[in-house]
Amino acid sequence: MQRSSPYICLLSLTFLVFSCRKKEATVEKDEHLCETLEDTTGRSIEIQNLYDDIVTKDTIKIISEQIRNNFSRRRTLSYDEKAVEDYFNENFSSVLSFDRFKKLLPDANSILKKERWLAVFPVRVGVIIRPEAPNYIDEKRIHHSIEILNRAFVGADIQFKVVQIDTLSSEHTIENLKENGWQNYLDFSDNDLKDTINLYVFDNEAKLCEEDGTSISCGRTGGFSYTLSSFTNNIVLTKFELGDQKVIVHEFGHFFGLHHTFDKQYGETTADNYFCEQTGDKICDTPADPGTAYEVYVNYTRCEMEGFFDEGGKEYHPMINNFMSYYKPCYMKPYRFSDGQYDVIYNAAKSRIRKDFVIDYLLLDEEKAQAIAVN
Ligand SMILES: [Zn+2]
């Protein structure tokens, strides 16, 4: 398979296949009056008998997960018992009755009330130290970055937990990982721990500017990551970006399936966002974004692009403060994801290549919600 480059933030675009479809529950009958229940983790269990009395604990658990997956999608407010019952009867009535299910279910409340469970993903932080110029970092900066991440991702019912911080010795800087057609990066990715998000923190090149006669050009890579890919399990950042309110969230956004709002690999979106499902970032509640080439039209005080029109005469109104755009910060509006982006992240977290990472689930109660907001 042809390998593509990861997303290089603040430098260039990439071309990676994005796929994160929600897996539906399936219950299929076979001839021997056994039923196979396939849950979202791909496991299958056989229910030897269809009678209520011998429905196993595992079956209850799997059915509960299916219902939770179907109804705990963020902001799906049609989460009433009648809707759950209808869904149940449609999918599981041949296994047991809904009343019986409720009796057998130990945590019925968590299904039938709108409780939110946060999937916890482990993060291993690898701090890259160049032997000739060792640049260590304070662990507090790492934890602060994870807090920023957790505040942004709670909307997708996801949290991150640092499980390991280690120091890796390497001559690489973030810039030279791209050399040799990304081979340096792919070789370095052998350091990845399995089923864990590896966050590598590199140095930049010492010299960020090049002088050519009278002109000076300066550039810096903030970080990069593949978009929902199993090529690597890592996200790369520079030490410079630790504590930044956007870059780490942006890179984790890619890791969980998001494209840039100005992405053009699937075609450019017109200003009216027509064909939004097929073009741009393929998310309809992120408005068409022509990209930072037109940043001169952005009024940062109002956080709006003003006076820039597409060929059809429609005005662009990109979400300037979106985590997946390339615009500068707005004075009054914090960065954010749209609901559609949260849905993509949520589903990516449940995708085949990410679901095995999850180490824990946390019930989001008032207290926890406050703690995340305050951090
Ligand atoms: Zn990016």
Each residue's pLDDT, cut to its tens digit, for the chain (375 residues) gives 445 667 655 433 332 222 223 333 333 333 232 333 333 333 333 333 344 445 667 777 788 778 777 765 554 434 567 878 888 899 888 878 888 887 776 555 556 655 678 899 999 999 999 998 888 899 999 999 999 999 999 989 899 999 999 999 999 999 889 888 889 999 999 999 999 999 999 998 888 888 888 888 888 888 999 998 888 999 999 999 998 999 999 999 999 999 999 999 999 889 999 899 899 999 999 999 999 999 999 999 999 999 999 999 999 999 999 999 999 999 889 999 999 999 999 989 989 999 899 999 888 777 777 777 765
How far does the centroid of ligand 1 lie from the alpha carbon of residue 260, in Å?
6
Spatial contact of 114 and 81, defined as CB atoms under 8 Å apart: no
Give the list of residues 6+ apart from residue 201 with CB closer than 8 angstroms, or none: 125, 126, 127, 128, 137, 142, 237, 238, 239, 242
Please give the Cα distance from 256 to 20 (Å, whole number).
Answer: 9
Ligand 1 geometric centre to CA of 254 (Å):
7
Pairing outcome for strands 116-129 and 197-202: parallel
Which residues have C-beta under 5 Å from ligand 1, the single-atom ion? 7, 9
Q: With beta carbons less than 8 A apart as the criterion, state whether 225 and 252 touch.
A: yes
Q: What does the pLDDT read at residue 3? A: 56
Rounded to the nearest angstrom, the distance between the alpha carbon of 192 and the centre of ligand 1 is: 21
Centroid of ligand 1 to alpha carbon of 352 (angstroms): 23
- Cα(249) to centroid(ligand 1), Å: 10
**7 C-alpha vs ligand 1 centroid, how far in Å?**
5
Question: What is the per-residue pLDDT for 53?
Answer: 47
DSSP assignment letter at 264: -
Of 141, 149, 144, whose CA–CA distance to 121 is shortest? 149
The pLDDT assigned to 84 comes to 80
Note the pLDDT of residue 214.
85
Distance 13 CA to ligand 1 centre (A): 8
